[in-house]
Structure 1
Amino acid sequence: MIIRVDSLTFRYPTGTTALDGVSFQVAAGERVAIVGANGAGKSTLARHLVGIERPASGTIEIDGRRTDGLGIAELARTVGFVFQNPDDQLHAASVVKEVGFGPRNLRFPPARRAELVESALRLTGLTQWRDTHPHHLSLGVRKRVALASVLAMDTPVVVLDEPTTGQDHASVVLLGNLVDGLAADGRTVLTVTHDMDFCVEHFDRVIVLAGGRIAWDGPVAHWPAYVADAADGSLELPQMTRLGHRLGWERPVTTVTGFLDRLSPGPGPAPVPSTSP
C-alpha cells in the first residue's frame, strides 16, 4: 500500500468545507482518476498529497509515513506534482535548467541527474526546446515542461492536475503513452481531470468527488454505468459511449479500441470467389 487517506477534512479560511471525511487507499502501480464537478474538492485533495495543503482533521500516509510530519521538500522525494497552470511551477531561464532543478535539489549524483533530464526531455518531446526560455513557449508546451520537470525527479507517485487542458491531440496521445509507461514501470499515477476520454483510455480506477465527499469509487469499466444513472448530470459519458448509445448499442463501450472492435465483423466463412467473367 503506498497511499492511505483516512477521514480527510479541509476547510478554507472563509469557512468553506472543501473536503469532508474523505477516505481511500491507492496501491503501488495503480492509475487512479479523480473526477467531479467544479468545486467538488479534486484539486484540493491533490494538493494535500504533496503537502501544499494540510488537513483540518484526518490523516494521509504515503509509503507508510504520515505526511503531517513531513515538509514539502521531503514529500517531493515521493510525490511529483504537476500543476494545472504551468506558470505556477516554472521559473528557470531555460527548459533544460527547469527540468534539471528537481533532481539537483534532490542531490542526485551528476551522472544520474543528466540521465534523468535527458530521458524526461525525450519522453515529453522537448529536446528541440532544451535551451529555450519556458515562457517563450505555448501553453501546451509549457505544460509538457512542467511534466518533464516532475518526471526527472523519478518519484514513485506522480499526480497530474488537469493535464490535458490546453493540449492538442498529439500532446494528449503523448501524455497517455507516458501514463501507460509510468504504470508499466510500477509507478503510481493519480490525475484530476474533466477529460472523460483520457480517463477511460488510460486509468484503471475512478474516484468521483461531489461536495467534498466520495460519491463513487470503482473500476473504470463500471464507471459509465454510474454516470448514466447519476441524477445531477454533472459528469459526461465518454464520447465512444455516447456514440454507442446513439447507435442503439445496449452494452456500453468506452474506448476507441472497444468501439472499433464492436464494429469489426466476427469470424465467418471465407467469401465465395466471383464466377462472373
Structure 2
Amino acid sequence: MGAIELKNVTFAYPNGFVANENLNLVVKKGERVAIVGQNGAGKTTAVKLMNGLTKPTMGDVFVDGINTKDRTTAQISAYVGYVFQNPDDQIFNSSVKKEIEYMLHYLRLDQKEIDRRVARTVELTGLKDYLGMNPYDVPYSIRKFVTIAVILALDTPYIILDEPTAGQDLNSIRALSNLLNILQNEGKTVITITHDMEFVADHFTRVVTMANKRIIADDTARNIFWDDHVVSKAKLMKPQISELANQLGIDGKVLYRNELVEALTDRQLGTQKQVKSMGF
C-alpha cells in the first residue's frame, strides 16, 4: 500500500532560516488528513516537501517508495497534485477549458482521454457554464474550483489543498464537502492545510498539528480540539460547538451540534430527577 512518508525531515532556506525541523509523518493512500497550526508553523513548507516543490535539507521524503531527491518536481507532480491557496498563483491560460486541458496536452494524452478527463472534472466541480470564460473573469470562489479541476484532471493519487475554504461561500463549501467524499470513495488521499476549524471538525478524523516548525500532535479531531495544551501551543481556535460546550462546562469532548444537544438534554433530565428526589 502506497504512502507519503517524511523521515527526520528538516528544511532550511539558503539564508539559513529553518522552516521545518525533524518532521516524521506517514500519510497512507485513501486517508483524509488536515494539517493545522498558526501562520509560520511550517505547514505550507511541509506539503511542498511532499510534492517535490522543495527538497529536504536533511532527512528524506518518499512518495510511494520514491525518494523525492531522486526525481524532478515534474516527476513527483504525477503522484502528488498541489492546489495553491491563491488561485492567481496557478492560473495562466485564457479560458477555463484551456486551463484544465493544459497539463493533459503537456503529458501528450490522446484527445479522447483529454475529453474524458475534462468532462468528468467539469462535472465534479460544476464548471460547465464557465468553460469558455477567462479564469480571471469568474468569481474568486469559482476560480478556486478551476485550480482544483486542473489537479483533478491529472488524476494523481495524492491531492493537497491549501486553504480550500478561504474566500468560499456556503454553497461552495458544500460543493467542496461533496467533492471530498467522492475522492475518498475513489481511494484518493487528500491532505488539507486550513485555518477553518469547523471544516476540519466536519470532514477530517485525522488532524496533524504543527507549531514552531514541528509536528506537536497527530490524533483525531476530537482529541486535538479537547487537548488544551495542544490548542494553546498551536494557537488554534476550537470549533464553535466545542468552545460553547467548554464554556457550559460540558465534559465528553463534544464536537458536533447533535452531541451538544444530547449533552444539554441529559443535563436537564438530570436536574429534573434531582429536583423530584428532593420532593419538589
- State the match for 2:156 in structure 1: 155
Q: Which amino acid aligns with 1:103?
A: L
Once superposed, which parts of structure 1, at least 4 consecutive aligned residues long, lie more than 6 Å away? none
Deviation at 1:228, TM superposition (A): 6.2
Deviation at 1:242, TM superposition (A): 1.5
Which segment is superposed worse, 68-77 or 188-197? 68-77
Q: How many Å separate the matches in 1 of 2:91 and 2:28?
A: 30
* RMSD across aligned positions (CA): 1.9
Q: How many Å separate the matches in 2 of 1:100 and 1:264?
A: 54
Contact 1:4/1:25 (<8 A) preserved: yes
Q: How many Å separate the matches in 2 of 1:78 and 1:262?
A: 44
Would the alpha carbon gap of residues 240 and 25 (structure 1) be closer, same or farther in structure 2, given more than 3 Å must change?
A: same
Deviation at 1:107, TM superposition (A): 2.8
Q: Which amino acid aligns with 1:75?
A: I
1:220-239 correspondence to structure 2 within 5 Å = 220-227=221-228, 230-232=231-233, 234-239=235-240
Q: How many Å separate the matches in 1 of 2:249 and 2:87?
A: 42
Q: How many Å separate the matches in 1 of 2:125 and 2:83?
A: 13
Would the alpha carbon gap of residues 152 and 263 (structure 1) be closer, same or farther in structure 2, given more than 3 Å must change?
A: farther
Deviation at 1:155, TM superposition (A): 0.6
Would the alpha carbon gap of residues 150 and 227 (structure 1) be closer, same or farther in structure 2, given more than 3 Å must change?
A: farther
Q: How many Å separate the matches in 2 of 1:78 and 1:58?
A: 20
Contact 2:211/2:233 (<8 A) preserved: no
- State the match for 1:253 in structure 2: 254
Q: Which stretches in structure 1 are left out of the alignment for 5+ residues?
A: 266-277
Q: How many Å separate the matches in 1 of 2:205 and 2:155?
A: 22
- State the match for 2:32 in structure 1: 31
Q: How many Å separate the matches in 1 of 2:139 and 2:261?
A: 34
Q: How many Å separate the matches in 2 of 1:47 and 1:70?
A: 14
- State the match for 1:137 in structure 2: 138
Would the alpha carbon gap of residues 110 and 161 (structure 1) be closer, same or farther in structure 2, given more than 3 Å must change?
A: same
1:176-195 correspondence to structure 2 within 5 Å = 176-195=177-196
- State the match for 2:50 in structure 1: 49
CA-to-partner distance for each residue in 1:89-119, whole Å, 9 max, x for gaps? Answer: 0011100111112222233332222121111
Residues 1:86 and 2:93 are matched in the alignment: no
Secondary structure at 1:164 match in 2: coil
Secondary structure at 1:152 match in 2: helix
Q: Which amino acid aligns with 2:110?
A: P
Contact 1:227/1:235 (<8 A) preserved: no
Deviation at 1:239, TM superposition (A): 1.4
Residues 1:75 and 2:91 are matched in the alignment: no
Would the alpha carbon gap of residues 227 and 94 (structure 1) be closer, same or farther in structure 2, given more than 3 Å must change?
A: farther
Q: How many Å separate the matches in 2 of 1:89 and 1:201?
A: 28
- State the match for 1:4 in structure 2: 5
Contact 1:227/1:237 (<8 A) preserved: no
Deviation at 1:231, TM superposition (A): 3.8
Contact 1:227/1:236 (<8 A) preserved: no
Would the alpha carbon gap of residues 120 and 26 (structure 1) be closer, same or farther in structure 2, given more than 3 Å must change?
A: same
- State the match for 1:273 in structure 2: none
Deviation at 1:247, TM superposition (A): 3.9
Q: How many Å separate the matches in 2 of 1:102 and 1:227?
A: 45
Deviation at 1:204, TM superposition (A): 2.3
Q: Which amino acid aligns with 2:222?
A: A
CA-to-partner distance for each residue in 1:134-188, whole Å, 9 max, x for gaps? Answer: 0112221111110111111111000011111111111111111111211111110
- State the match for 1:214 in structure 2: 215
Deviation at 1:211, TM superposition (A): 1.0
CA-to-partner distance for each residue in 1:17-38, whole Å, 9 max, x for gaps? Answer: 1000101111110111111111
Would the alpha carbon gap of residues 17 and 115 (structure 1) be closer, same or farther in structure 2, given more than 3 Å must change?
A: same
Q: Which has the higher helix share?
A: 2
- State the match for 1:120 in structure 2: 121
